[in-house]
Structure 1
Amino acid sequence: MFKTARFRLLALLCGLAVTSACSASPSDAAAPASFTDGVEYVSLPAPYHRASDSGKIEVVEVFSYACIHCAEFSPYVDELRKSLPKGVEFKLVPAPFNDSWVPFARAYYAAKKLGIVDQTHDALFDAKFKQQYPINSMEEIANFYAIHGANKGQFLTIANSPEVDAQIKKDLQLIQTWGVDGTPTIVVDGKYRSYNIKDFPQLVALTKWLVQQELNAKGH
């Protein structure tokens, strides 16, 4: 059975803590045509909490650049994003589960502010996990982005800004509200969270199925 990188969330300086176990076991089983609440996904209680107020149906991947399973899932995410119906938006929320993951959350928001997420997202996963470059500290992360065209000083200023501090705290509260304790996790419209998933193709199929449930409910 596929397992995400899982964590127990407790309150630390930034409201962060960790106990982790990272393991994955791919399955060859085909994804079913439908899914069961409490098995492959869980329904979240109202009131529903979303990552944005755009009004569009929202698909969120809770992820981290520090998570190897997120790196493995990334090619599937690329295809998922392209396949989502018009009017459905895809968003990334970086999980600040512990002190070692916080720099990667900072990096995501700095890259987003600089408009370079699209060209660096998969590249960072590739550099860290396939090429095994030492990318862990804020300094090492900034060096990576500098190679990809960012001004290092500007990148670090944004990454360590009060604005990013506030966003990380907001993200953690949202992740806790959703009950997310591992990555990658998919949350659809703040109503449904992926749960007991066998493999990445099943996670993609589940996401599409949940999106269709929301489209049907809204009369689309």
Structure 2
Amino acid sequence: MRLPRRLFCTALLGLAAGTMSAAALAADPQAGAQYLVLPSPQPTDTGKKVEVIEFFAYYCPHCYAFEPALEAWVKKEGDDIAFKRVHIAGGAGVLPQQRLFYTLDAMGLLPQYHQKVFDAMHQQHLRLSSDEQVFDWAAQNGIDRARFIDTYRSFGIQAKLRRAAAMMDDYGVDRWPLVVIDGRYITSPSHVGAGAPEGTTETQQQQTALQVMDFLVAKAKADKR
């Protein structure tokens, strides 16, 4: 049975399938297998840099597991890419986490606190599923509570939430973490893991996804020349 899009997490598709080994990528990744091509490419505004968007959720354990490898990959790519994150929309329990992400971003605090939010949920087991829980967490972590709440409840954050929901529809997001490259190509650990042999690990699945991302960034750069 297909789960509703807003409630889907990568593990539900990918972990049972396992992953591809690095050796399996001796040949170029194939469209329709390790990555998908969007039927309607989405516009980008990053000039000669290749736009890379990650769709993720703070509550998702597989987004949390992917974060260190993804962060290292982004640093490796450097100025060749313009990296963006989109926190997926969800139900009432996810909305405070989504607002938290966009509030930190609007306040210029995301680089400092992004990993701390992940750790709060997956190491300290904080739910952050209500506004008050989020406000308490922000204050306990040294963020001005009043300023945070004002930003959290602002029209600007509401606009970002609407934009995130629209982007999920535009890109056909049905799992996370999911990566979109150059507004045209989609891949994820679960995409590269589909149909792979059993016995491989989630870490291998992630590393193979990063190799596919390398390929797609190079492909997008070549297309821009």
Q: Same fold (TM over 0.5)?
A: yes
The residue aligned with 1:102 is: 95
Of residues 159, 164, 167, the one that matches 2:160 is 167
Ranges in structure 2 where 5+ consecutive residues have no aligned partner = 194-204
- Counterparts of 1:127-166 in structure 2, within 5 Å, are 127-166=120-159
**Structure with greater contact order relative to length (CA < 8 Å, sep ≥ 6):** 2
Q: Which amino acid aligns with 1:183?
A: W
Distance 1:82 1:105, change over 3 A: same
Q: Which amino acid aligns with 1:108?
A: F
The residue aligned with 1:43 is: 37
Structure 1 residue 109: Cα displacement: 1.1
Q: 1 CA distance for matches of 2:65 and 2:213?
A: 17
Structure 1 residue 151: Cα displacement: 1.0
Q: Which amino acid aligns with 2:213?
A: T
The TM-score, its normalising length taken from structure 2, stands at 0.82
Aligned to 2:52, the other structure's residue is in SS state strand
CA contact (8 A) 1:120 1:145 kept: no
The residue aligned with 1:29 is: 21
The TM-score, its normalising length taken from structure 1, stands at 0.84
CA contact (8 A) 2:54 2:177 kept: yes
Deviations 1:133-152 (A, max 9, x none): 34322221222222222112
Q: 2 CA distance for matches of 1:22 and 1:138?
A: 27
Distance 1:88 1:22, change over 3 A: closer
CA contact (8 A) 1:7 1:182 kept: no
Aligned to 1:86, the other structure's residue is in SS state helix
Calculate percent identity across the aligned residue pairs.
Answer: 26
Distance 1:130 1:37, change over 3 A: same
CA contact (8 A) 2:42 2:170 kept: no
Work out whether 1:126 is the aligned partner of 2:126: no
Of residues 4, 22, 28, the one that matches 1:8 is 4
Structure 1 residue 82: Cα displacement: 0.6
Distance 1:66 1:27, change over 3 A: same
Q: 2 CA distance for matches of 1:57 and 1:153?
A: 37
Ranges in structure 1 where 5+ consecutive residues have no aligned partner = 1-5, 10-16
CA contact (8 A) 1:188 1:210 kept: yes
Of residues 66, 79, 87, the one that matches 2:80 is 87
CA contact (8 A) 2:20 2:208 kept: no
Aligned to 1:91, the other structure's residue is in SS state strand
CA contact (8 A) 1:62 1:186 kept: yes
Tell me the matched-pair count: 205
The residue aligned with 1:202 is: 208
Which has a greater percent of helix?
2
CA contact (8 A) 2:50 2:82 kept: yes
